[in-house]
């Protein structure tokens, strides 16, 4: 059977186009997700590349446009399914969320919890957007060997890849727990290999407790890794609404390298050029730090991609008249590197000055809390 998604049907040696139906509007018209399918030899793996789930994040669209070429199809052993606009309403309005869902659209993917047998009248039912993602997730389940989700981080941030924590159930019979842990470790290993193939700096996600508190296990890539057990990564492509051409080129090259790793493309890996490549010598996770202790004006002393060491001065602090405050200099409490400077220079107390990648000694594979799946 040929691979289909919505109205798009894969054809060997071709790029085909279509739509995945979403919802109708009360005033008429409808929203649909644009679908692109590139297929070479249909016997190869199936990979998905998605973008645009947050409205102001536009670089991923350009990466998909650069990636999907006739030359790529000529060499392709397998199928590439691309959705460049997972949140059409957000893209139209330049808002992170859709106007028909009150919340982050990248926290709507399935999490494996049992559905209630009776709807709770005090709880809102799933939105049209969540229902769309549930149907799309089942399409992934049917035909997906790996997934890449393209995002943007902060203004001026470097290009990097977020590596999700991988979780497994630990609440059933011993044999099931052992199988779950083995499957989690297998997909975690594949994700590490996929990160290496992409060739951009790697940042591991938040500590497990904070990760779950922020519902990051319901992100696109976490749902794919935890429920479908396929390797999935979130690529952060610098500034969102004004894509950096160098990052777009480096991301397209990195995705082709992932496709070579996955045996969709032949040949040796391309060099990744034009982006910072900090090498701290240890695994890193993200954190917002250091933080201001008083209202102030900040002058950042480091640039995105710079290495940082514990005790190093990272910012000068002054009042609005230009006089040094009592703190004068802010120093780092961590070794690592700078992902981005926090936006702006006018800060209130407790504001993080940078997004940092700092040493991570936490496991990348972890059991879900025992009560996580209880209804």
Apex 203 CA angle, 302 and 181, nearest 5: 160
pLDDT digits (tens, 9 = 90+) for 44-99: 999 999 999 999 999 999 999 999 999 999 999 999 999 999 999 999 999 999 99
**Number of Cβ atoms within 10 Å of the Cβ of 328:** 11
Q: What class is the 284-359 domain?
A: mainly beta
pLDDT at 375 over 80: no
Q: How far apart are CA 329 and CA 326, in angstroms?
A: 9
Q: Where are the domains of the chain?
A: 4-278, 284-359
pLDDT digits (tens, 9 = 90+) for 257-284: 999 999 999 999 999 999 999 999 999 9
Question: What confidence tens digit (pLDDT) does each residue in 93-137 have?
Answer: 999 999 999 999 999 999 998 887 888 888 888 999 999 999 999
- Tell me if the domain spanning 4-278 has CATH number 3.40.30.10: no
**4-278 with 284-359: one CATH topology?**
no
In 270-353, the DSSP E strands lie at 284-288, 296-300, 307-308, 313-318, 324-331, 336-341, 346-347
Quick one: average pLDDT of 333-340? 98
| 8 Å CB contact between 297 and 317 | yes
Q: How confident is the model at residue 370 (pLDDT cuts 50, 70, 90)?
A: confident
Q: What tokens does 217 get?
A: 């296990």
Interatomic CA distance for residues 190 and 186, integer angstroms: 6
Residue recorded with tokens 């749902």? 223
């Amino acid at each position: 059977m040929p691979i289909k998604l919505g109205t798009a049907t894969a054809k060997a040696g071709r790029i085909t186009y279509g739509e995945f139906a979403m919802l109708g509007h009360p005033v008429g018209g409808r929203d649909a997700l644009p679908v692109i399918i590139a297929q070479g030899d249909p016997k190869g793996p199936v990979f998905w590349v998605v973008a645009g789930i947050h409205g102001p994040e536009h670089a991923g669209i350009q990466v998909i446009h650069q990636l999907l070429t006739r030359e790529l199809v000529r060499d392709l052993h397998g199928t590439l399914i691309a959705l460049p606009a997972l949140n059409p309403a957000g893209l139209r309005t330049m808002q992170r969320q859709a106007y028909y869902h009150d919340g982050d659209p990248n926290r709507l993917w399935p999490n494996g919890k049992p559905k209630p047998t009776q709807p709770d009248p005090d709880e809102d039912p799933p939105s049209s957007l969540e229902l769309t993602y549930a149907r799309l997730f089942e399409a992934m389940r049917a035909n997906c060997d790996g997934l890449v989700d393209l995002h943007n981080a902060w203004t001026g941030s470097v290009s990097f890849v977020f590596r999700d924590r991988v979780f497994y159930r630990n609440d059933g019979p011993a044999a099931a727990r052992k199988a779950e842990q083995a499957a989690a470790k297998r997909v975690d290993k594949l994700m590490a290999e996929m990160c290496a193939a992409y060739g951009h700096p790697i940042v591991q996600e938040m500590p497990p407790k904070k990760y779950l508190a922020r519902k990051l296990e319901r992100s696109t890539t976490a749902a794919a890794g935890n429920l479908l057990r396929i390797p999935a990564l979130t690529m952060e492509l610098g500034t969102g609404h004004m894509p950096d051409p160098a990052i777009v080129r480096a991301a397209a090259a990195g995705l082709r390298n992932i496709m070579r790793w996955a045996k969709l493309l032949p040949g040796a890996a391309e060099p990744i050029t034009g982006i910072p490549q900090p090498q701290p010598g240890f695994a890193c996770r993200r954190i917002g730090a250091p933080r201001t202790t008083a209202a102030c004006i900040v002058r950042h002393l480091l640039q995105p991609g710079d290495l940082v060491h514990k005790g190093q001065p990272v910012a000068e602090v002054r009042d609005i008249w230009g006089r040094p405050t009592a703190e004068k200099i802010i120093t780092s409490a961590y070794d690592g590197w700078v992902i981005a400077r926090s936006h702006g220079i006018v800060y209130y107390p407790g504001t993080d000055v940078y997004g940092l990648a700092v040493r991570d000694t936490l496991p990348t594979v972890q059991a879900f809390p025992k009560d996580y799946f209880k209804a």
